[in-house]
């Protein structure tokens, strides 16, 4: 059984940032398109677009900008603000693990093994 701690940031009932959304942002940054990022993550294009829409609508500025296809193809990229938010989230996760390792291990090591 894999045990882990996942950090999700919610606004009302909407998860605005979590491990999946952060991974999607990383993939968009790497591959330069929502379609390629979705393919890399083995998710549907529609699901990726829906997640990007949620992310962009949740923050004061868009994290992802996209261009329609055409002669030079479309594409998507993270804005500087998007990179800032992604880096802030990744740092939050890293610092949380670093500062709670003992307590987390105390809890995880005492969980019952699920069948």
Domain ranges of the chain: 16-108
The SS3 of residue 94 is: helix
- Whether 1 shows a pLDDT value over 70: the answer reads no
Q: In this structure, are residues 79 and 87 in contact, taking their beta carbons and an 8 Å threshold?
A: no
The CATH code of the domain at 16-108 is 1.10.10.10
| Nearest alpha-carbon partner for 21 in 81, 80, 63 | 63
pLDDT at 114 over 90: no
Distance of CA 96 to CAs 24, 28, 68, 84, 85, Å? 21, 25, 38, 18, 16
Instruction: Say yes or no to pLDDT of 21 above 70.
Output: yes
pTM of the model: 0.86
Task: Give the residue-averaged pLDDT of 89-108.
Answer: 91
Q: Within 13 Å, how many C-alpha atoms sit on residue 15's CB side?
A: 11
């Amino acid at each position: 059984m894999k045990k882990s701690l996942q950090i999700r940031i919610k606004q009302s009932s909407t998860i605005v940032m979590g491990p999946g959304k952060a991974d999607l942002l990383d993939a968009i940054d790497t591959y330069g398109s929502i379609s390629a990022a979705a393919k890399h993550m083995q998710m549907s294009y529609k699901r990726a677009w829906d997640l990007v829409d949620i992310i962009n609508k949740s923050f004061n500025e868009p994290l992802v900008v996209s261009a329609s296809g055409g002669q030079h193809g479309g594409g998507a990229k993270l804005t500087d603000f998007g990179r800032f938010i992604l880096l802030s989230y990744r740092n939050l996760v890293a610092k949380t693990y670093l500062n709670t390792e003992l307590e987390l291990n105390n809890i995880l090591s005492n969980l019952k093994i699920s069948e």
